[in-house]
Structure 1
Amino acid sequence: MKNRERIVLFFGLLTTLGWAQQQAPKVEIHNGDISATLYLPDKDMGYYRASRFDWAGIIPKLEYKGHTYFGKWFQGYDPLSHDAIMGPVEDFKAVGLEDAAAGEAFLKIGVGLLKKDDGDKHSFSKTYDIIDHGKRKVKVRTNAVTFLHEITSDKYSYSYEKKVKLTKGKPQLVLQHRFKNTGKLPIESLVNNHNFFVMDNLSIGPGYSVTFPFTLTDKDGVPYAASPEETGLKDYAKIEGNKVVFTKALIDDFAQIRPAFGYDPNDPKDYDIRLENRKAGIGVQITCDQPISSLAVWSAPQTICPQPYINVKANPGEVYTWTITYTFYTL
Structure 2
Amino acid sequence: MSDNSQVLKISGERLEVEIARPGTFYSGSRFDWTGFITGVLLDGKHTFCAPESLIPGEGSGGFGFCNEFGIHTPIGYDEAKPGEKFHKIGTGLLTRPDESDYFFFDKYEVTPFPIKIDCASDQITFDVEPVECKSYAVHMTKTVCVNKNRMIIKYILKNVGFKTIHTEEYCHNFISIDNNPTCSDYVLKFPYSAEAEETPQVLTVKGNEITWNTQPQNDFYIVPGGFKPVENHTWELVHKPSGVGVREISNFPVQKVAVWGKGHVISPEVFIEVHIEPGQTQSWERIYEFFTI
Q: TM-score if structure 1 supplies the norm length?
A: 0.82
Task: Show the counterpart of 1:47.
Answer: 25
| 1:25-70 Cα shifts (integer Å, max 9, x gaps) | 112111021111111103xxx1101000001112221111221111
Structure 1 counterpart SS, 2:178: coil
> Using CA pairs below 8 Å that are at least 6 residues apart, which structure has the higher relative contact order?
2
Instruction: Confirm or deny that 1:104 pairs with 2:68.
Output: no
- Indicate conservation of the 8 Å contact 2:166/2:274, yes or no: yes
Letter in 1 for 2:231: P
Structure 2 CA distance for aligned equivalents of residues 310 and 127 of structure 1: 24
Letter in 1 for 2:150: Q
Distance 1:113 1:82, change over 3 A: farther
Q: What letter corresponds to residue 176 of structure 2 in structure 1?
A: V
Matched, 1:184 2:162: yes
Q: For 1:128 and 1:34, how far apart are their aligned partners in 2?
A: 35
Query: CA contact under 8 A between 1:199 and 1:280: conserved in structure 2?
Result: no
- The DSSP-based 3-state class of the residue aligned with 1:293 is strand
**CA deviation after TM superposition for structure 1 residue 151, in Å:** 2.6
Cα separation, 1, equivalents of 2:178 and 2:46:
6
Counterpart residue type for residue 138 of structure 2: Y
Alpha-carbon distance, 1:282 to partner:
0.6
- Which of 130, 143, 155 does residue 122 from structure 2 map onto? 143
Residue identity opposite 2:188 in structure 1: V
1:247 aligns with 2:213: yes
**Partners of 1:119 and 1:71 in 2: CA distance:** 35
CA contact (8 A) 1:82 1:126 kept: no
1:100–1:106 Cα contact (<8 Å) kept: yes
Contact 1:237/1:244 (8 A) holds in 2 = yes
2:136 aligns with 156
C-alpha spacing 1:90/1:113, structure 2 compared with 1 (3 Å)? same
Q: Residue by residue, what CA displacement relative to the aligned partner does 1:260-284 show, whole Å, maximum 9, x if unpaired?
A: 342231x212x21101111332111
Tell me the distance in 1 between the aligned counterparts of 2:105 and 2:52.
17
CA 1:157/1:82 → structure 2, altered by over 3 Å: closer, same or farther?
farther
Task: Report 1:225-264 matches (<5 A).
Answer: 230-231=198-199, 233-234=200-201, 236-251=202-217, 253-257=218-222, 259-264=223-228
The answer as to whether partners of 1:91 and 1:193 remain within 8 angstroms in 2 is: yes
Residues 198, 73 of structure 1: alpha-carbon distance in 2 compared, 3 angstrom cutoff: farther
Which residue of structure 2 lines up, in the alignment, with residue 86 of structure 1?
A: 63
C-alpha contact (below 8 Å) 1:106/1:114 kept by paired residues: yes
3-state DSSP of counterpart to 1:200: helix
- SS in structure 2 at match of 1:268: coil
Larger radius of gyration: 1
Out of 47, 72, 79, the position equivalent to 2:51 is 72
Candidates 35, 39, 45, aligned match of 1:61: 39
Supply the distance in 2 between the matched residues of 1:151 and 1:77 (Cα, whole angstroms). 33
Which of these residues, 267, 270, 286, is aligned with residue 324 of structure 1?
Answer: 286
Find the residue that maps to 2:179 and give its secondary structure.
coil
Cα drift, residue 311 of structure 1: 0.3
Which residue in 2 is equivalent to 1:118?
A: 98
The 3-state SS of whatever aligns with 1:151 is: coil
Q: Distance in 2 between matches of 1:329 and 1:320?
A: 30
- 1:73 is displaced (CA, Å) by 4.6
Unaligned runs of 5+ residues in structure 1 are 1-22, 217-222
Deviation track 1:265-313 (CA, whole Å, cap 9, x = no partner) reads 1x212x2110111133211111111122112101112110001111011
CA distance in 2, matches of 1:260, 1:32: 35
Alpha-carbon separation, structure 1, partners of 2:224 and 2:93 = 31
Q: Tell me which amino acid in the other structure corresponds to 1:264.
A: K
**Partners of 2:60 and 2:98 in 1: how far apart?**
22
> What CA RMSD, in Å, does the superposition of the two structures yield over aligned residues?
1.7
Structure 2 gap segments, 5+ residues each: none
Structure (1/2) with the larger helix percentage = 1
CA-CA distance at 1:76 after TM superposition: 4.2
CA distance in structure 2 between the partners assigned to 1:181 and 1:325 by the alignment: 24
Q: Would the alpha carbon gap of residues 238 and 56 (structure 1) be closer, same or farther in structure 2, given more than 3 Å must change?
A: same
> In proportion to residue count, which structure has more strand?
2
Q: How many residues of Structure 1 are paired with residues of Structure 2 in the alignment?
A: 285
Letter of the structure 2 residue corresponding to residue 319 of structure 1: T
Helix, strand or coil: the match of 2:167? strand
Tell me if the contact between 1:53 and 1:82 (Cα under 8 Å) persists in the aligned partners. Answer: no
